[in-house]
Amino acid sequence: MGHPIYRVCSFEVVSAYTLRVHFDDATEQTIDFRPILAGELYGPLRNLELFNQVRIDREVETLVWPNGADLDPATLHDWPVHKQAFGELARRWLPVQA
């Protein structure tokens, strides 16, 4: 039994650290990323200038940032299901040293 494959088609900035993400199945999620902006990979995205450099990688069809951060499009698509667990993981990640 396979799992659905989702693709990010577009996104828009709703507010600081919050994106509305549109998928190829005509659904969307509005995601506030602040609770997961921790650790080595996602912590640097607390810099709003870096966060706002988000783009869609057309090869993997998901959101990516210049520092290499990305998220599986299935995770983004089903964000309400994953939000709490991802936030709990982020609280355990080491803070990024300035």
Q: Does residue 97 fall inside a structural domain?
A: no
pTM: 0.89
Residue 81 in domain: yes
Structure confidence at residue 35 (pLDDT):
94
2 within domain boundaries:
no
- Whether 48 has a pLDDT exceeding 90, the answer reads yes
Burial of 68 (0-12, 13-18, 19+ CB in 10 A): exposed
Cα separations in angstroms, 79 against 22, 31, 33, 96, 98: 12, 7, 10, 24, 29
40 belongs to a structural domain: yes
Into how many domains does the chain fold? Answer: 1
Q: What confidence tens digit (pLDDT) does each residue in 65-95 have?
A: 999 999 999 999 999 999 999 889 888 886 6
CATH of the domain at 36: 3.30.2020
User: What was the pLDDT predicted at 60?
Assistant: 93
| Residue 67 within any structural domain of the chain | yes
Residue 46 belongs to what domain range?
Answer: 8-92
pLDDT on residue 59: 94
Short-list 80, 88, 74, 85, CA closest to 4: 74
User: Across the chain, how many H-helices and E-strands are there?
Assistant: 4, 5
Residue 23 has what pLDDT? 98
